[in-house]
Structure formats: structure tokens, C-alpha cells
Amino acid sequence: MTAVQDPRTPKAAVSHICLSRLDDPYIEGHRCGGCGEVFLEVHARCARCFGDDLTPARLGDTGRLYNFTIVHRSFPGVVTPFVSAIVDMDGGGVVRGTLKGAGVDPAALAFDMPVRLVFGDSGQKDEQGAPYIAYHFVPSQGPTS
Amino acid sequence: MSQDVFIIGADMLKFGRFPDRTVPDLGAEAALLALRDAGLGIGDIDAFYCGNLVEAMEMVGQRILHHIGQTGIPVVNVANACATGATALREGLMAIKSGMHDVVLCVGVEKLPRGLMGGGAQPSPQLEGLFGSTSMPSVFAQVGQEYARNHGATFEQFAKVSVKNHHHSTMNPKAMYRIETPLEMVMQAEMISWPNTKLMCSVNVDGAAAAVLASEKTTRRLGLMGQAVRIRGSALASDPWSPRNQTMPDFNTVTRLAAARAYEMAGLGPDDIDLVELHDCFATAELVHYENLSLCGEGEAGRMIDEGEAALGGRIPVNVSGGLLSKGHPLSATGIANVYEVVTHLRGQAGARQVEGARIGLTHVVGAGHAGAAAGVHILEKA
């Protein structure tokens, strides 16, 4: 008889976070063997070249800030201000996330600044008390490749 | 060769807030106004294309007919985010071009909940804030930020769009707001999502607009060619693949695709256009669409707003109705209200905001959800 999983085992806050090893979380995307494009969602065919050679791919942890906005007003209950970032990941894939640790002054944020992913407890739990694991971005020291 | 299609009647409600009225009630009033403009009754209509989002599962078109006459005609209820109105109009156009129908009614109607768009019911966990933002102000702030990244547009240039469109609305009796908003007032308003302040976000209102379309043969038979407006171009596009567009909606590529199709169908180019009503859901969006609709060259949108080229009296007036920023943006009504605005100018009936000598106008909308985008472009010509 297999052990019943603890209902409070941490869960991924979004489906593209892979938690097969809790000490080594990562974003799992899907790479097209035909054109190389990387998607976060599971698709039947590649949206770019329509090919069917899509295989799971571990995204890197580093990237560059392609775009951002500083959110001062959001939906009720959402703490503001925060930086919403669009990041081109090194090695492929594009990820939206909150950028922390860089302030909320537009003058302090630069397009293409290097950032990296940090995984951790989101502070939110499901009905059974299981914490949701999420990620955010932080400014990265040194160049990314 | 299919025959040309004409707009023979068009009208809209003054946009506002109607807490005591229903969606079908608002849609019915707009429908009756457009029918009256054409001198027709519901009994003359062969088919009805009804755009609505908030009650998309509730047979809004049929319920409008309950208010104005249950004739048994085919009703198609249309939902395509903020491109819904243009989509309904295009469905009507295609029905006539196909030869299936001679006279059709197209309505866009919306009653909106207050507050920021793009939230919806959030299941656990709350993703907003945790993984950046998917609110509409944030999505369209990034549209402007991408333009700033590529071409160096400034906060002040984006703010000038709002100054212009609010000024235009002071001349439009059907606009929600009719107040001047000087540049300092726009830039000092509450920051919603950098670089859009509250006065750079479209107005969340209720409203309805309607148009009656007819074949050329029927337009002539009814003796309405004098007030008719020919639909020269009509295009709809879904977002083709483009880099990042599954993470950050890309309104540029989808608009360029629709615009190219509409110009090609019309056999016209941007130099032929006398006025434009485009989708200024946020001030940041208007600038990028100058280029997406080829109203100026790449990187010239900032100069275009600085030099007043898009203002009434300028080279190519944009959003002389006041636009979504000040006339208001009742989602599904928007894509027919902008057609009403152009029709009014082509008829020479736009009063103080009339674009003098206007013969050809262009309307544009984009729609988006959390993912996926649509663009609709129509090119209209005085018959």
C-alpha cells in the first residue's frame, strides 16, 4: 500500500512550475523541435510552425527584462505598487512575473537589465493548507549569457 | 462579383451610466434610433447581428427583439472581446455580400461593472501581483513601454493623447465626459500603471450603438443613396504568432494584419483617409496605432502627437469623437459607435468637431482577454 500524500504538500501556483524535486523547482516549458520556439502551455501543435514535435524543456533561471510596468492600482486585495515584468529567458521562453528588489521607480529600471528567477512560498495556501509555490524575478548581478 | 454594401442608418446613445436600465433595453433604443435614421422598421430587417460581452450567454439579440418586435429573423449573438462591435458589423456585411440577405441590423451594447477590467473571478491562488499583472491597464501600459523601448516615446507624449481626445470630446454631445484636461492635470492624475495615469485610461461606461446595412440594390430602391456610406474595406484578424505574444498580447501585429487587409480590399492607402477613429483604450495605445495603421512612418508617432497632426484641423484627425478615453468605452458598443462617428462626418453632420470635406474614414478596434487578440478595421466612404 502506498502512503497517502500529505494534503499539505506544497503545490505549484501555476501549472508550468515543476516541483518533482521540491529543492530544485523550475519552469517547465515545451520546445518545438521544428522551429525551436518555447511555449509555457501544453499545446497540440506548435503555434509558430504548426509542427507536432513538442517536448518538455526545462527553462533557465536567468534572463533579460524585455518590458515592464509599475502597477499602482490593481484589483481589490492586491498589494501595490509592484513591478510587472516580461522577461526573455536565456535559452528560450518568455515569462511574466513580478520583479522584486529593484524598487518601483521607472528611472531605476532599465530595459534588458539582467534578472533571475527566485522560487518560494507564495504566502497563499489552498483549502487543505498546502502552500502554493511561486516565483518572482530579482535583479541579477553580473552578465547573463 | 458581390455587390457593395452600404450603411443606410446609424446612431448611438450618449454614453453614460444607466443603473436602472437593462442591456436589451439599451440595445433596443439604439436599434430603434438607427432604424429611424434609415426610415425603416424592424419588419424590414432580414437578419440581426448583436454584440455583447457581459451577458454573452443570455441571448441579448433575441431579448432586444422582444422589446422592438419578434419577427423571427435569424439572430447571431457575437462576442469577440473589445472587437465585438466590429465583428458584428462585419458579420452583417458578409451576410449581404453573400446574397443571403438585403437589409440587416447590427447592434453593440454593454453595461459594465465598475472598476478595472481584466479581473474576472480569480480562483485560488490569486495570481495578480504574484506573477506580475494581467489587468488591462497593465497590459496596455506595456504596449506603450514597448514603443518607448523601440522609439523613445516619453510619458509626456503619451499624456498628450489624453489631452487631445478630452479636448475633442468637448465638441461631442454623445461623449460621457466633456471636460478639458490640461497636460499637467493628466500627468499629475493618480498613476494606475506606469506610464498611464487615471486620465489616460478609457472611461468605463454603459452604452449602445447600432447600424443598418443594405445591399446597393436595396439602398437605391429605398432612395437612401444620399445618406448612405459605402463600406469599402472590412477586415478582421486574430493574433498571428509573434515573439512573446503568448505572454504579452501583441496588438501591433494583429492590427497591421487587419489594416493591410482592409486597405487592400478598399483599394486605398493611408493617404486617402480623412479621419480615423482608433482604439485608444489607453493613451499608450493610440500612439502605437498611428504606425500600425500606417498614418505615419516607423518611429514618427511621438512627433505626430507633438505637432498636432492627429488633432482636429491637423493632417489626419484621430478620435475627434473624444475616443474611448473621453467618449467612453462600453466594450461591444465601441466598434459600432466609431462607425457612427465616421458616418456622421461623411454626412457632414458632426457640428463643431466636423472634419471638413471628409470623404473617407477608417475605424479600428482591438480586443484581448488574458491571452489572444483580435483586430477589426473598416474603411468607409461617402456614397
Residue B201 annotated among the catalytic residues of the structure: no
> What CA–CA distance (Å, rounded) separates B353 from B179?
15
B364 catalytic residue (yes or no): no
pLDDT confidence of residue B106: 99
Task: Look at residue B259 and give its three-state secondary structure.
Answer: helix
Hey, which residues 282-341 in chain B have their CB within 8 Å of chain A?
A: none
Alpha carbon of B327: minimum distance to chain A alpha carbons (Å): 23
Chain B residues in contact with A84 by the CB 8 A cut-off are 132-133, 138, 142, 193
| pLDDT of B158 | 98
Nearest CA-CA partner of B317 in B284, B347, B350, B281: B350
CB < 8 Å to B127, chain A? 13-14
At residue B288, does pLDDT exceed 60? yes
Question: Which of B119, B146, B193 lies nearest to residue A71, judging by beta carbons?
Answer: B193
Residue-range domain boundaries for chain B: 5-114+203-382
Contact of B194 with chain A, judged by CB distance below 8 Å, is answered with yes
Enumerate the domain spans of chain A: 11-139
Query: How does pLDDT run across B230-275, given as a tens digit for each residue?
Result: 999 999 999 999 999 999 999 999 999 999 999 999 999 999 999 9
Interface contact B193, partner A, CB < 8 A = yes
Of the candidates B322, B223, B252, B279, the residue with the CA atom closest to the CA atom of residue B6: B223
CATH architecture of B5-114+203-382: 3-Layer(aba) Sandwich (3.40)
DSSP 8-state secondary structure symbol assigned to residue B334: H
Please name which of B376, B295, B373, B377 lies closest in space to residue B139, comparing C-alpha atoms: B373
Q: Do B284 and B140 form a contact (C-beta atoms < 8 A)?
A: yes
Is A121 part of the contact surface with chain B (CB cutoff 8 Å)?
no
Q: What is the mean pLDDT of chain B?
A: 96
Confidence at residue B122, expressed as pLDDT on a 0 to 100 scale:
60
pLDDT tier for residue B198 given thresholds of 50, 70 and 90 = very high
Name the residue of chain B whose CA is nearest to A117's CA: B131
* CA distances, A68 to each of A65, A122, B205, B335, B356 (Å): 7, 21, 28, 29, 41
The nearest alpha carbon in chain B to A100 belongs to: B132
Residue A128 touches partner B, C-beta closer than 8 Å: no
Name the residue among A13, A37, A71 with its Cβ closest to that of B133. A71
Q: Is B375 helix (H, G, I), strand (E, B) or coil?
A: strand
Mean pLDDT, residues B158-182 taken together: 98
Q: What does DSSP say about strands B47-51 and B103-110: parallel, antiparallel, or unpaired?
A: parallel
Q: Write the pLDDT tens digit of every residue in A13-49.
A: 999 999 998 899 999 999 999 999 999 999 999 999 9
CB atoms closer than 10 angstroms to residue B225: 13
ipTM score assigned to the predicted complex: 0.94
How far is the C-alpha of B104 from the C-alpha of B98, rounded, in Å? 13
Q: Is B152 on the interface with A (CB under 8 A)?
A: no
Beta bridge partners of B343: none
Confidence of residue A7 (pLDDT cuts 50, 70, 90): confident
In a mutagenesis test of the A interface, which of B116, B134, B145 is the best target, namely the one with the most A β-carbons within 10 Å? Answer: B145
Q: What is the pLDDT of residue B114?
A: 77
Shortest Cα distance, chain B CAs vs residue A9, angstroms: 15
What does the alpha-carbon distance between residue B52 and residue B10 come to, in Å, rounded to a whole number?
A: 18
Q: A38 CB near a chain B CB, below 8 Å?
A: no
Q: How far apart are CA B198 and CA B182, in angstroms?
A: 14
Whether the CB of B115 is below 8 Å from some CB of chain A: the reply is yes
Residues of chain B in contact with residue A63, where contact means CB-CB under 8 angstroms, are none
Comparing CA positions, the residue from B309, B212, B295, B311 lying closest to residue B259 is B295
Report how far residue A57's alpha carbon sits from residue B236's, in angstroms, rounded to the nearest whole number.
35
